[in-house]
Amino acid sequence: MPGRLLLAVAGGLLLTTAFEPIAIPYVVPFGVAAFALATRDLTVRRSGLVGLVFGVAFYFVHIEWMRRSVGPDAWLALSATVALFYGVLGLAVPLLRRLPAWPVWLAAAWTAMEQIHSTWPLSGMPWGRLSFAAVDTPAAQAAPYLSLTGVSFVLALTGFLLAAAVERWRRPLVPVAGLVAVLALLMIPAVHPYHVHETGSAVVAAVQGDLPGPANQILWDYRAVTDNHVAATEQLAQDVANGTEPAPDFVLWPENSTAIDPFADASINSGIRSAVAAIGVPVVVGAIVDDGPSHVLNQGIVWDPHSGAGDRYTKRHPVPYGEYIPFRNLWDPDFGQLSAIARDMDSGTRTSPLTVAGIKVADAICFDIAYDDVVRSQVAQGAELLTVQTSNATFIYTNQVAQQFAITRLRAMEAGRWLVVASPNGRSGVIAPDGTVVASAPLRTEAVLDERVGLVSQLTPATRMGAWPGRLFTGASALGLALGALAYRRSRDHSGSTGAAEDAPELSEARTP
């Protein structure tokens, strides 16, 4: 058992290196294979413990940025919660391994586990999905065909087939053949990438106004943050007038470009109107807007030079214990970072795109980009372009910024759309539908990215499938667990001793497809 625990720790740490800042994505199958080998031929309880240890080694390191940026209490609580999901997956291993083609069943269960912890409890935590490590690999080219959920399944299947080949090293023909088939399947979209047909183009300017004072404190001087974005936009207007920059169709400001309600504060309102009037085109302003005395909204507001504030997108996935206190009516904590959350942020419900300068735009605010439903629903309803308004200042000295930017690139690929990101001090960028970073602003600097982007109306197969890949793998996992439980029950009955069956390894030689 100690050897299994050490293998689980090694596998979890290895999987961590697939993500930023190390970003060696080709280790993903080896990390997954280590999980399978560490849980092989164990009882349900012991397999669950080994899975939990794997989850702890992986997730506590993967989001270590939260300890340094938000606080050790939030890091410990969130990491422990997600690590439990790997423990639950470990509990399922002895049942699923009883089935023929067990790597397929276990890959479906891994993918379903990712889907569940990405949305539950509360709004879940999507970080750490296998597909999020694949941005610069051939597997990423499969995203518009299979969806990021499907890419996770294929990567998990590759790892479990690798484990099956190791287990049957004397007769590995079947798992090796399966592994070759999966890798060949992944190479098809890499050789023939999804083709995007652009129906038009537009010029979009992403403004990165930078922060005064500490680079990781967006609220240190929030009025100056707005002033910086006003000044940068007015300078862009001057550059356009001088002919040194192309005239944009619209301008994108980041999340928290104003941290106070622009409709309640005359000075902030005046600054925004001044910037919009100077540039003469709509500006999508990232603003915190009052929603009664005890709630706020995190919004992207289309501010038109003629009609003023109009169409709005409201952040759909506020961060629990970061932007609101769940069940505040039952408890109202007044300690640590929680004491700073005086008002709860309400969730948005919009699933249709914004209309900005006549362009249908799918907007996402910060962590929204990591959730499957935000971009997908807006693209399905006609969005031609993606935008992300984010405020990564809290995490500016950590790996979170790079991890989120990788997820953002993958969303562009999955949707088959150009994507523009604006952040107060990094990382702003312009991303092509194939994931290529066309333009990027250095961290902790003032910059304006004024770039021409394509407009796309066709829907990728991933968008057309909607939520069905996740439902498919969750349903397959439930079926596999039911069939595995029946096989387990029969083996216990055959053994004639319930106690002996629980104390002995529950699996003999693991079967392979």
Burial 60-85 (b: 16+ CB within 10 A, else e): bebbbbbbebbeeebbeebbebbbbb
CA distance 450 to 491: 66
Joined tokens for residue 228: 């910086």
- 360 catalytic? Reply is no
Residues 6+ apart with CB under 8 A from 60: 75, 79, 83
Which candidate, 310, 288, 163, 158, places its Cα nearest to that of 219? 288
CA distance 329 to 489: 45
Do strands 283-290 and 250-252 pair parallel, antiparallel, or not at all (unpaired)?
parallel
Joined tokens for residue 256: 């928290």
The active-site residue, picked from 20, 114, 167, 315, is 315
- 315 catalytic? Reply is yes
The active-site residue, picked from 20, 114, 167, 255, is 255
Helix (H) or strand (E) holding 470: helix 468-495
CA distance 102 to 236: 58
- 255 catalytic? Reply is yes
Query: 3-state DSSP call for residue 294?
Result: coil
Question: Tokens 């333009």 sit at which residue?
Answer: 439
CB 135 within 8 A of CB 404: no
CA distance 202 to 199: 11
Query: 3-state DSSP call for residue 24?
Result: coil
CA distance 290 to 263: 9
| Angle, alpha carbons 398-404-406 (nearest 5°) | 115
CA distance 400 to 128: 12
The active-site residue, picked from 366, 414, 446, 506, is 366
CB 284 within 8 A of CB 303: yes
Which of the residues are catalytic? 255, 315, 366
